[in-house]
Amino acid sequence: MTALQFKQPFFNELPKLLSPVLPQGLGASRWIAWSDDAAQLLGGIKPTASLLNQCAGNQLFDNGLGHYFAQVYSGHQFGGYSPQLGDGRAMIVGSLQAPEGAFEMSLKGAGITPYSRHGDGRAVLRSALREFLASEALHHLGIATTRALAVVGSDLSVWRETEETAAITVRLARSHIRFGHFQYVTHGLQSKPQLQALIDFTIKQHYPELTLDSQGYSAWFAKVVDSTALMIAKWQAFGFTHGVMNTDNMSILGDTLDYGPFGFLDRYDEDFVCNHSDSESRYSFVRQPGVALWNLQRLAQALAPIIASDSLVSGLDSFEPRLIEHYVTIMSGRLGMARHDNDSDLELISALMRGLQANGLDYTRTMRQLKLVSHADKQLPWQDDCVQPQLMSDWWRAYKTRLVGVDDWDGWQAQRQRTNPKYILRNYLAQQAIEEAERGNLEMVTSLMAALQNPFDEQTQYEQYAQLPPDWAQGLVLSCSS
């Protein structure tokens, strides 16, 4: 197999925004998980023994530098500004040209960097697997995200609340640039030339159609707002809660980034908080759109030395309409309903969500039952499970008026199957797969991953991964500890 050919655009062009680092290898290590699908992005590479050694940080990839690098950035964490953050345990190896575009490879959990603060630079197997499973799951739901090639496990012990073992996630990202990079350059370095360089680099790498002038900058910011709105619309549409929407975890490309205590909704509950360290529910499910806008406002402040205020303001003003447009498009696609206008469409969709919430219904399983609906039905398939059936019968009447044009019901139902997933990464499934992997049994990681790679297909062999959470897992919450 030919060696991976790394390029170093970020390292070469933005040297003030990084520190060279060397990995601290895991030592004796093994593959815990591998995504053939992500490997396809790199020309179908295989999990060889020498690649294992490199991904474990025991041996350097030949990346043309002789070292890796950690990026520096800052960010608003739970509303408070931290002037200097950075990759405390992730190291970027370099950029790989793939048919679908370039991907930066990073090793998350590869040791101490200048930005580790009091951390040990490590990731535990539990958090590495959660990132791996989630990024592959979101990707196959059609939600923009960083990808994960593999998880490498080891016997190296690390302490969190208890003793655990160290692992590395091999992450592939179109870019690791975060809102926090722009904040660091403007508020920390206070350097207009550096800000200009960072903006120009981002545009040249990822928006080559745009010009490097005021018109191009204005169009670029509008695109950043739009891709963020699209990502959030998809999170809301598929019931994903990120958990730590700090500005240092917001990708400039609108890719879901930095998985920690995330969670998918089981029961529809707009107040769901997946991160038990989030005592003020700042990052609850329903607050994600508002937080994204708040984060975009922080980004706009950081861009203000270069980009004209009226461009920034009109970009920010476009967030809400773009979010609603994306959300209504996705949800009316899931529901298979005729569109009227955004206001009345959104009201009808919201009424369903209120009905699901009031009745404590499972979000994914209820939506999946749409594939059984037909216009002649007297009631919805989940009507008998409702404690407040009236809400659902009222909604059924309103919804039916949006289905009048349908004549091919088999085709309509098949389309509901293609738009409403059967398999999502429920927290209890991630937890079970992790516990099995910690005991040395990788079968569930592999099979769960296979189920999540085709979330819309029936896959009867994986029926167990479409079940409601068991009693022990009701209200499972996670901490930031990773």
Residue nearest to Mg ion (CB): 258
Stretch that binds ligand AMP, among 85-93, 273-281, 283-291, 418-426 (CB under 6 A): 85-93
Q: Of 104 and 258, which CB lies nearer to Mg ion in the complex structure?
A: 258
Residue 288 CB, nearest approach to Mg ion (Å)? 16
The phi and psi torsions of 290 (rounded to 5 degrees) equal: -65, -40
Residue 148 CB, nearest approach to Mg ion (Å)? 15
The answer to the question of residue 116 lying near ligand AMP (CB under 6 A) is yes
Stretch that binds ligand AMP, among 116-124, 198-206, 390-398, 458-466 (CB under 6 A): 116-124
Q: Of 74 and 366, which CB lies nearer to ligand AMP in the complex structure?
A: 74
Restricting to residues 421-480, name those near ligand AMP by CB under 6 A.
Answer: none
- Residues 197-236, mask of contacts with ligand AMP (x by CB under 6 A): ----------------------------------------
Question: Which candidate in 248, 258, 266, 269 is catalytic?
Answer: 248
The answer to the question of residue 87 lying near ligand AMP (CB under 6 A) is yes
Q: Of 165 and 482, which CB lies nearer to ligand AMP in the complex structure?
A: 482
248 is catalytic: yes
Cβ(173)–Cβ(146) below 8 Å: yes
Residue 307 CB, nearest approach to ligand AMP (Å)? 26
Residue 92 CB, nearest approach to ligand AMP (Å)? 12
Q: Of 181 and 402, which CB lies nearer to Mg ion in the complex structure?
A: 181
Q: Of 278 and 345, which CB lies nearer to ligand AMP in the complex structure?
A: 278
Which tokens belong to 312?
């920034």
Residue 257 contact, options ligand AMP, Mg ion, none, Cβ 5-8 Å cut-off depending on partner type = none
The answer to the question of residue 88 lying near ligand AMP (CB under 6 A) is yes
Q: Are strands 80-82 and 29-34 parallel, antiparallel or unpaired?
A: unpaired
Residues that bind ligand AMP (CB under 6 A): 85-89, 115-116, 119-122, 244, 249, 258, 260, 482
Residues annotated as catalytic are: 248
